[in-house]
Every structure is written in C-alpha cells, then in structure tokens.
Amino acid sequence: MIYTLRRIGTWLVAEWLLVVLTGLLPVLLWAVPTAPDNLVRLVDWKTVAALAGLMVLSRGLELSGLIDRLGRMVLARLRSARSLACALVVFAALLSAVVTNDVALFVTVPLTLGLARVVALPVARLVIFQALAVNAGSALSPVGNPQNLFLWQRSGVGFWDFTFAMLPIAGSMLVLVLALVPLGFNRVRLALQAAPDRMAVRRPLMLVSLGAYPVFLLAVNAGGAVIGAGVVTAAFALAFRDVLRGVDWPLLLVFVLMFINLGLFGQLPAVAALATASMEWRGGAYAIGAVLSQGMSNVPAAIFLAPFTDDWRALAWGVNVGGFGLAIGSLANLIALRLGHQRGIWREFHLWSVPVFAASLAMGAGLLAM
C-alpha cells in the first residue's frame, strides 16, 4: 500500500502540469458553461496529431542509437571545455530544429553526464547552455517545438515559408548564446581517459525512422497530420513496440487540456477584452507573447494569444524569445534542469537566462521594426 502511494505521488509530481490543468477544467467550465461538442472544437487536432507523430519518430531516432553515435563522433574530437561547450550548443541547436527541443535535451544532457564520469567538467553550466541552445535552435523550425508546430498549423503557410520567417530571430538568438560561451568556459585541455557506455545502433529502426520522418513532414505540410500520425503509430506498433512504450503520451493529454482550458479562459469577457486591446499595440503580439511566457510558459501563451491576432510571425517570435528568462518560460528549461540535477543549477540558470531574455527581446524588437 505504501509503495503504491509512493508511486502515485511520484507520478503526480512528474505530471504536475497535467494535474493542474485537470484541476482547472471544472473551474473554467463553471465560469464558462460549454457543451461537450464545443469543447472538442476548441482542440486543434491537427497540431495534436502532428505532435504525436513527431514524438514517435523522434523517439525512434533516439532509440536507434544514431544520434548517440553522431554526438560521440563530434565530442571525441574536442580538446577543451570551451570547444566542448561550442560543439554542444551547435549540436543541440541543430538537433532541436529537427527532432524537437525536448528530444535534443534527452540526447545531449545524458551525453554530457556520461563524459563527466571520466573527465572534470562544469556540468551545470554545460546543461544550462544546452537549454539555451535548444530554445534558440528550435525556434527556427516548424517542428522544433510545440508552439511553432501549433502556430505553423494555424498560419496556413508552407514549411519553408515558416522557416524563413523564423530565421532572423532564431539566428540572432543562437549567435547570442554562442557569444556567451567564452564568458562561461575556459580553454583548459580536457583529459578524456575512457569513453562512456555507448548505445548499440539498431539499423532497421534507424532506417525506418529516418525514412518516415520527411514523409510524415510532407503529410503534415499537405494537411494530412491526423492520417499520417495514425499510419506512423500503427507501423511502429507492429514493428517497434518498445518505441511506443517510451513516448511521453501524457504530454498529448496536456496539450488537449491546454487547448480546452485556454480556449475557455479566452472566452471570459474581461480576459478577451484585455487580450484584444493588447494585440492592437504596435508590436503587441511580440511583446505580450514574450512577457506572458514568463508567467505561463511559451506553449500555453501561444495557444492563448493566437485567437486574438493575425500576426503569427510576431507572436511566434515573441513566444520563442519567451523561452529564455525564467525557467517556466519553456518546458525545455525544466527538462534540462531536471535531467542535469546539479546543485545550484536553478540559480545559475537564471544568472545566464534572464540577461539572454532581455537581449533577445531587444534584438527581436529591432528586427521587427526594420
């Protein structure tokens, strides 16, 4: 009995966001009575389906051992903490643009922790810079993070059109993070004595995941996210069931509840009036998106603000910049800090992230004004 209660308690702590959203739903339904069929319409099912397919394929690439092998090939050629930090920042940023920011962290942070077992490293700072890197890198791609995926589906533009629209802010943020590397890391030579345990490469899983990834993106771009996600999930259920067991399925429920809760919240007259008025300011979508992310995280901020503005580009820039600053600004930050599990890492994270947020906010405002 005690063991069962502990497991339930552990699950509730791990899924705190799901618990909070579930608890808020009855309150919002009391404030805004809504029929069940209208609740279903509040959910952007294309985004949920696209996220499901990407989660399965990203997990497939992760378990195939391909990303682990590529990461080790890069890290084996490095000679100092500074070069290691630069490589991890670039690797994490590029990886996040392809397989989402959280998957990138699940690859690069364990790699860092593995290296730290055989050589002295500033682990906390390396993890912090990886969190900053994935926030910057994932901003580039429509599939780099959930807020981009949602806004891409809502915008109606093509994959590359969205990417080119995000390039200025994503590039600026990544350059800023890289510019800080010399301030955080020295050139002391690393003495790597042994290699950490490496994952075995599962060739069939690697080939299927690599082949299915671009096909699924084409299907999403053509409006077939729901069908594509169904096909991908069914295929992996038949051939690679262990991949599906490792997918974070509760995250999909979190997104469904986000759509419903924030849709109901936006229907409150006072909230709707305030949001509409703030979107009318020059640069309002950008500024409000960035600032609101500091209090409610950038994914719910994007979902909440999207119905009040047609300027998806400014909103996308704002909520991606909002991933910096406070740890709650992005779920990727929370994942990185949790995986890193280093003493004092939360305090040090904010010493780096808050200035990056301020600088990125200013850079984005300047770029939008051009």
**What is the chain's pLDDT, residue by residue, as a tens digit (370 residues)?**
666 767 777 766 667 778 888 898 999 899 888 888 888 888 888 878 888 888 888 788 878 887 777 766 766 677 788 888 898 899 899 989 987 787 788 778 877 776 776 677 788 999 999 999 999 999 999 989 989 989 998 898 999 999 999 999 999 999 999 999 999 888 877 665 555 566 788 999 999 988 998 898 888 878 888 899 999 999 999 999 999 988 878 878 887 888 888 788 878 887 777 777 777 777 788 998 998 888 778 888 898 888 888 899 999 999 999 999 988 888 788 778 877 778 888 899 999 999 999 999 999 999 998 7
Query: Is 321 a domain residue?
Result: yes
Query: Is 9 a domain residue?
Result: no
pTM assigned to the model: 0.76
Handedness of CA 212, 213, 218, 220 (dihedral sign): positive
Query: Is 5 a domain residue?
Result: no
Query: Is 4 a domain residue?
Result: no
Ramachandran class of 32: left when φ > 0, alpha when ψ lies in -120 to 50, beta otherwise: beta
Q: Is 329 helix (H, G, I), strand (E, B) or coil?
A: helix
Query: Is 3 a domain residue?
Result: no
Query: Is 121 a domain residue?
Result: yes
The domain tally of the chain equals 1
Which residues is 189 bridged to in the sheet?
A: 80
Domain hosting 130: range is: 15-369
Q: Is 266 helix (H, G, I), strand (E, B) or coil?
A: coil
Angstrom distance (rounded) from CA 76 to CA 245: 31
DSSP state of 281: S
Angstrom distance (rounded) from CA 340 to CA 79: 22
Query: Is 10 a domain residue?
Result: no
Residue found under tokens 């800080």: 180
Query: Is 6 a domain residue?
Result: no
